[in-house]
């Protein structure tokens, strides 16, 4: 059996108190069962560049991490990754800031990390690189002579060609993707946008799931990420989950609750959601004093100004809506800028009658799946889901909305709140089937099967 090396920007924590953030959550679940090496950034920023590895063993896993210098952190992480790639890949060209020095920092960090990893790579290893932080990683490892199979999985959407080409270095980035053996996307739409770029922009050819260009071939497929559905369903009945459930239902005293759980990020459509909730209260007097919105939004990327602006905007909106509709014994929006333990989160999901997941654009969105998994099968809540989340391609039995349509979202909330029990159960059963079949284990196994079969075919990106 091959050993697995996972590469991602942040490494750990590996306990259940995982940070808010889909990638960390998914990788912890995927690595728990297999062991291997998890390699990336320590999360610490130091004054001077120092690429010495820190090794720590955690059960079957070895965590291998390096620090980032303050300059690299600004250019690679805050700069190119979060100010250029993140908005662009979420179709928000208006928010993209491009700076040559940031791209240089991004390339420098990809090269330095590849160099630091190389001595750990052994004969049988499979290397699985994650997300938009490390698009150049395989190219750098190949330059150093690594011929092991290297795969990439993109957790966020892949942008349309017309948007990607606004980035001055688009071709360099896409060319570097061809140094991987397997490219994994969340949905076929994302994969097809990559193919479209290859065909139309750089004159490559596509055959089945293979793209050929720059004298190299790469296999590109959709591997929709999942959750550990069973564990999540059980979380809701752990001590913590039950406690959270009971105290929430106690507090609600027969009233109902809509829940949103999102990193505080402009891709998640939070202002639009608050607007829609306000519209729903305007339209439906019967829900006033009776239905509240609990929005959990742990702060994220607090060094980036768009995130600071969003936080202020949401505070203003929540204050405005509460000022307008609150009564002495009822608050319409409870808005919490903090995170909860995962068990507690499951209890909150279960206590909520509607799950509102309305990103403007999202690779997959794990919250949508977690909300459903935590429901009581005998009295399940209703998932309202944006058509622009990757999850909407699988979860077609949710109430699907367009997050740009405030009235449509307000109407959908009312549909969810008034849905008869039979229909709720029917939708829940169909959703749970998909969520349990295409769970995190399925994602991991199907990706790693594809990656290990590269070797059996006898050709890796390194040998071309």
Residues lying near ligand GDG in the complex (CB under 6 A) are found at 18, 20-23, 25-26, 155-156, 225, 261, 263, 296, 298, 339-342, 345, 362-367, 370
Q: Which residues pair with 219 in a beta bridge?
A: 182, 210
Cα 114 to Cα 117: distance, rounded to the nearest angstrom: 5
In terms of CB distance, is 240 or 370 closer to ligand GDG? Answer: 370
Cα 318 to Cα 295: distance, rounded to the nearest angstrom: 10
Candidate list 155, 170, 287, 353, residue with the active-site label: 155
In terms of CB distance, is 90 or 161 closer to ligand GDG? Answer: 90
In terms of CB distance, is 69 or 238 closer to ligand GDG? Answer: 238
Containing 121, the helix (H) or strand (E) segment is none
Q: How far is the CB of 202 from ligand GDG (least distance, A)?
A: 27
Contact in structure between 9 and 27 (CB atoms under 8 Å): no
Positive or negative CA dihedral for 402, 437, 133, 304?
positive
Q: How far is the CB of 340 from ligand GDG (least distance, A)?
A: 4
Active site residue 362: yes
Alpha helices in 90-187 (DSSP H): 100-117, 137-143, 161-164, 170-177
Q: How far is the CB of 330 from ligand GDG (least distance, A)?
A: 24
In terms of CB distance, is 77 or 325 closer to ligand GDG? Answer: 77
Contact in structure between 347 and 249 (CB atoms under 8 Å): no
In terms of CB distance, is 8 or 69 closer to ligand GDG? Answer: 8
Candidate list 72, 362, 397, 439, residue with the active-site label: 362
Active site residue 101: no
Cα 346 to Cα 237: distance, rounded to the nearest angstrom: 9
Q: How far is the CB of 418 from ligand GDG (least distance, A)?
A: 27
In terms of CB distance, is 69 or 375 closer to ligand GDG? Answer: 375
Closest CA to 363 of 127, 184, 232, 218: 184
Q: How far is the CB of 17 from ligand GDG (least distance, A)?
A: 7
Q: How far is the CB of 296 from ligand GDG (least distance, A)?
A: 5
Q: What 3-state DSSP class applies to 165?
A: coil
Q: What are the E-state strand segments in 278-351?
A: 291-296, 333-336
* Closest residue to bound ligand GDG by CB: 22
Would you give the DSSP letter of residue 314?
A: H
Beta strands at 54-58 and 61-69: parallel, antiparallel or unpaired: antiparallel
Would you state the structure tokens that stand for residue 134, as one six-digit string?
Answer: 């490390």
CB neighbour list of residue 74: distance below 8 Å, 6 or more residues apart = 102, 105
Phi, psi angle pair for 357, to nearest 5°: -125, 95
Would you state the structure tokens that stand for residue 304, as one six-digit string?
Answer: 């980036």
Phi, psi angle pair for 296, to nearest 5°: -95, 120
In terms of CB distance, is 155 or 193 closer to ligand GDG? Answer: 155
Q: How far is the CB of 197 from ligand GDG (least distance, A)?
A: 20
Distances (CA, A) of 211 to 21, 166, 217: 31, 22, 6
The residues annotated as belonging to the active site are: 155, 362
């Amino acid at each position: 059996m091959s050993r697995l090396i996972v590469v991602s920007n942040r490494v750990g924590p590996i306990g259940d108190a995982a940070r808010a953030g889909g990638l960390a959550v998914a990788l912890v679940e995927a690595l728990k069962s297999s062991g291997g090496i998890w390699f990336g950034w320590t999360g610490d920023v130091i004054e001077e560049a120092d690429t010495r590895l820190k090794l720590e063993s955690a059960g079957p896993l070895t965590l291998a991490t390096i620090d980032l210098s303050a300059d690299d952190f600004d250019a690679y992480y805050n700069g190119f990754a979060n100010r250029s790639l993140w908005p662009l890949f979420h179709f928000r060209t208006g928010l993209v800031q491009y700076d040559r020095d940031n791209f240089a920092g991004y390339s420098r960090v990809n090269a330095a990390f590849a160099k630091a990893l190389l001595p750990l790579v052994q004969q049988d290893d499979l290397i699985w690189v994650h997300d938009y932080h490390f698009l150049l990683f395989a190219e750098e490892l190949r330059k150093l002579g690594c011929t092991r199979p290297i795969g990439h999985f993109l957790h966020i959407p892949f942008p349309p060609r017309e948007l990607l080409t606004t980035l001055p270095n688009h071709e360099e980035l896409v060319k570097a993707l061809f140094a991987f053996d397997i490219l994994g996307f969340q949905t076929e739409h994302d994969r097809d946008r990559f193919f479209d770029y290859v065909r139309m922009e750089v004159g490559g050819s596509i055959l089945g799931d293979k793209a050929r260009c720059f004298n190299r071939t790469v296999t590109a497929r959709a591997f929709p990420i999942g959750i550990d559905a069973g564990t999540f369903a059980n979380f809701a009945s752990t001590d913590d989950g039950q406690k959270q459930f009971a105290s929430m239902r106690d507090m609600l005293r027969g009233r109902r609750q809509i829940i949103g759980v999102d990193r505080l990020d402009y891709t998640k459509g939070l202002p639009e959601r608050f607007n829609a909730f306000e519209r729903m209260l305007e339209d439906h007097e019967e829900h006033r004093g009776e239905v509240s919105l609990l929005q959990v939004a742990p702060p994220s990327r607090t060094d980036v100004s768009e995130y600071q602006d969003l936080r202020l905007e949401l505070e203003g909106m929540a204050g405005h809506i509460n000022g307008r509709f609150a009564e002495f014994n009822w608050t319409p929006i409870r808005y919490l800028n903090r995170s909860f333990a995962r068990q507690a989160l499951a209890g909150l999901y279960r206590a909520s009658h509607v799950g509102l997941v309305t990103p403007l654009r999202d690779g997959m969105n794990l919250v949508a799946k977690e909300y459903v998994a935590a429901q009581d099968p005998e009295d399940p809540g209703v998932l309202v889901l944006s058509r622009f989340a990757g999850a909407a391609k699988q979860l077609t039995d949710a109430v699907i909305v367009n997050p740009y349509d405030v009235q449509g979202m307000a109407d959908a909330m009312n549909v969810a709140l008034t849905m008869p029990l039979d229909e709720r159960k029917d939708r829940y059963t169909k959703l749970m089937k998909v969520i349990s079949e295409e769970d995190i284990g399925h994602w991991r196994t199907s990706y790693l099967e594809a990656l290990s079969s590269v070797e059996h075919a006898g050709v890796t990106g390194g040998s071309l």
